[in-house]
Structures are given as structure tokens and as C-alpha cells.
Amino acid sequence: MKLDTFRLDELGTVARGRSRHRPRNASHLYGGPYPFIQTGDVKHSALYITSHSQTYNEAGLDQSKLWPRGTLCITIAANIAETAILGFDACFPDSVVGFNSDSKQSDVRFIKYKFDVFKKQYQAVSQGSTQDNLSLEKLFSFKLEVPDVNVQRRIGDILSAYDSLIENNRRRMELLEDAARQLYKEWFVRLRFPGREHTKIKNGVPKGWERKNLGDYAPLNYGKALKESNRVEGDFPVFGSSGEVGSHNEALVKGSGIIVGRKGNVGSVFWCDKPFWPIDTTYYIAPETCDLFLYHALQHLPFQNSDGAVPGLNRPYAHALKLLVPSKQILTSFLETTAPMFRQANTLKAMNEKLTVARDILLPRLMSGEIEV
């Protein structure tokens, strides 16, 4: 495969995003029809950015710029060298660079995957004495070896097919998880459970149900410190209060379990369906106590910052929270109803893990020309 060398700005147009107003978080800029994307949105996206949490109004747009769908977003501050393609027109600040490909020179998907291959190199040149930053000068200092645009498109087609399957599976998982979440709310929050017409309810507690302290029903156990430098990549997920943060070759908890954020992201709740290591910013609930009812119930408890100046979840406070526990019959019915949803979601998750591995093996080989297309 013949490769030619170009700077990024020779393959399309490149410019920094715009957010001129100070302070940037001024409330009068927000709450309109124009999506506003930040570095975190790019980092947490796959091939395409398909959702957003903030919007600009007309005042926000006046001090920014609306970029077209298909723009490659490249983060140059905070989260360095993360990339994703806009799935809709959007604004973004100057911590994000926008790249619009010249259709005669480049395919935007190919350029995105090129950044994936060389992400660590971009991050390395961004390291500074005070704050990491990937300037346009540094960005343009990299020479990109690219094939003919038709070859770029074929490579983009191959790799994006994997990402499309991964994204489709992810959405299906979200639908399954939401179905289980809505069923929990219907039965245990709104109390519209099977047989409710013939069940007496006193003080919000149906007959045969109980209010129990969380500490009596499912005690919280402390996670254990495991510095990133001490982790050995392996088969067991490592969980912090923000979710899965890596892997290790050993598990602290020898079965599936529930993780609850203790420091940082207080009260966050995660489920892990295999042995795992919860670090010291979390609590975990022992496998023998865990089920999908408890997983959903914990998400409705009023966890709050209760540990002094540092945001944290105080264990005595958490243990004193009341949990509405249904009768054995209703609990069994809920678990039997949600189990197929859970199994299907796990199947899709495993499929995505395999697709990701396959894509990541192909990626450098396609980019280097080792595999001809």
C-alpha cells in the first residue's frame, strides 16, 4: 500500500473551537437548541458523538461557533488526544479542535482511527510543567502517513462496521437495563406489583413486606487500595467510585457483586457479574447478598455527602437507611422476570468485548498496510 505524508491541515481544515465569554459557565449562555460538546463528551464517545448534556441558546451561539455534523473533534486540553465525530451540528470550546476533511484528500473516519493508533504519542508531546496541552503547533508537527482516499474509505468502512455493531449492542443493553429499571419503579416505588389489588398497604408497606435497615439486609464492606502502578493487567475488573477503572490479575471479591461509591462519586452504584477488585474509594456488597432487586433498590436510596469536608458516604449513615423489602413471592417474581434481560445484556457485553479486541487487532495492521484492502 502506497503511503504519502501530510500534515493534518493538508488533509482538510483545522481550527480550534470557540467559547469567548468569561466566565464560560455564565448561566445566560445555556439552555437553548444548540448542542454544546466538551472534552468529556468526546472522551466518553465511541466513533460518533450521539448525545450531549448541555446546550447553548442564541447568546451562547453568538460567542461560539456551530460546527457541522461529520466534524472530527480532537481534545487538546484536560483529556488529551481523544477523538470522536459529531453525529449532529454542535458547538465546542477552544479545548477541542475541529477537523473537516477534504473529500479529495481524506476520509474523516480514517483520520479518527489514525489518531487512535498514535494517541499515546500525542499525549506524550502534550505533557508540560504546569498543564498538559496539545497546541495546534504540536498537532501539526506530526506527519501522517495516509494512503489514497479510496483506500482510506475502505479502511474506514471495515473499522466502522465493528464500531457500528458495538454501538448497536450498547444501545440494546441500555434498553434492557432501562426495562428492568422501569419494572423496579413500577413494583417497588409506585407499588403497582402483581396482586396489589388484594394486598393491604399500611404506612406505605404492603402486607408481608418489611422496612429494614440497609446494614441489616446488606452490609457495606470497605474496598481495598490498589494503586494503578501496582495493577497487573488481567481478567478481573477494578472498580472505583466512577465505575470500572482498569483490570488486575487478582480479585478481592470472589464472585459477582455490587459496588457503591464511597469517596468522590458518592452513592454511585455498579454491578459486576464476575470476580472483581473494588478500590478504597468504594464499598462493596458480598456476593451472597447481591441480586438485581438490591442493585436497583440501592439506586433509590438517599445517599448523600456525610463525611465532613471531603465528599464521602458515611457507613453508619448508609447502614441506617431504610430499605423496603418485598415478600418472598414478589421478590422471586421480580428476579425471574428480570433475569432474562440481565442474561441478554451480559451476552451483548461479552460480544462487545470480543468485537473491541478484534477491531483493535485490525486497526494498526490496516493503518500500516500490513493488511491490504
Sequence-distant (≥ 6) Cβ neighbours of residue 344 within 8 angstroms: 172, 176
The answer to whether residues 124 and 38 belong to one domain is yes
Note down the domain range covering 12.
4-146
Phi, psi of 49 (to 5 degrees): -85, 115
Q: Coil, helix or strand for 110? A: helix
Q: 370: domain CATH number?
A: 1.10.287
In this structure, is residue 199 part of a structural domain? no
CA separation, residue 287 to residues 2, 258, 266, 294 (Å): 55, 8, 21, 11
The answer to whether residues 266 and 178 belong to one domain is no
Spell out the SS3 assignment of 242-275.
Answer: CEEEEEECCCCECCCEEEEECECCCCCEEEECCC
Whether the CB-CB separation of 165 and 171 falls below 8 Å is answered with no
The answer to whether residues 272 and 245 belong to one domain is yes
The answer to whether residues 277 and 344 belong to one domain is no
Q: Would you state the pLDDT for residue 7?
A: 96
Q: Which of 133, 107, 116 is nearest to 82 (CA)?
A: 116
Q: How far apart (Å, rounded) are the C-alpha atoms in residues 32 and 55? A: 6
Q: Would you state the pLDDT for residue 126?
A: 84
CA separation, residue 180 to residues 173, 285, 365 (Å): 11, 20, 41
Whether the CB-CB separation of 5 and 144 falls below 8 Å is answered with yes
Q: How far apart (Å, rounded) are the C-alpha atoms in residues 206 and 328? A: 13
Q: Say how many domains are in the chain.
A: 3
The answer to whether residues 36 and 130 belong to one domain is yes
Sequence-distant (≥ 6) Cβ neighbours of residue 325 within 8 angstroms: 209, 210, 211, 212, 217, 331
Q: Which of 339, 2, 29, 293 is nearest to 145 (CA)?
A: 2
In this structure, is residue 354 part of a structural domain? yes
In this structure, is residue 183 part of a structural domain? yes
CA separation, residue 326 to residues 197, 211, 220, 266 (Å): 16, 9, 20, 26
Query: What are the cell numbers at 76?
Result: 487538546
Q: Would you state the pLDDT for residue 308?
A: 55
Q: Would you state the pLDDT for residue 133?
A: 85
Q: Would you state the pLDDT for residue 129?
A: 47
The answer to whether residues 287 and 346 belong to one domain is no
Successive 10-residue mean pLDDT values, the chain, 373 residues = 94 96 93 96 95 96 98 93 98 97 98 96 79 86 95 98 97 98 98 97 97 98 96 96 95 97 95 96 95 97 69 92 98 98 96 97 95 91
Q: How far apart (Å, rounded) are the C-alpha atoms in residues 76 and 83? A: 10
The answer to whether residues 30 and 60 belong to one domain is yes
pTM of the model: 0.87
The answer to whether residues 108 and 174 belong to one domain is no
Does an H or E element contain 126, and which? Answer: none
Q: How far apart (Å, rounded) are the C-alpha atoms in residues 292 and 336? A: 10
Residue 355 is which amino acid?
A: L
Whether the CB-CB separation of 39 and 96 falls below 8 Å is answered with yes
The answer to whether residues 59 and 161 belong to one domain is no
Q: How far apart (Å, rounded) are the C-alpha atoms in residues 220 and 260? A: 8
CA 240 to chain CA centroid, Å, is 13
Query: What are the cell numbers at 185?
Result: 419503579
Residue 331 is which amino acid?
A: L
Phi, psi of 164 (to 5 degrees): -65, -40
The answer to whether residues 230 and 280 belong to one domain is yes
Q: Would you state the pLDDT for residue 311?
A: 72
Q: Which of 158, 82, 106, 121 is nearest to 359 (CA)?
A: 158
> What is the end-to-end Cα distance of the chain in Å, rounded?
9
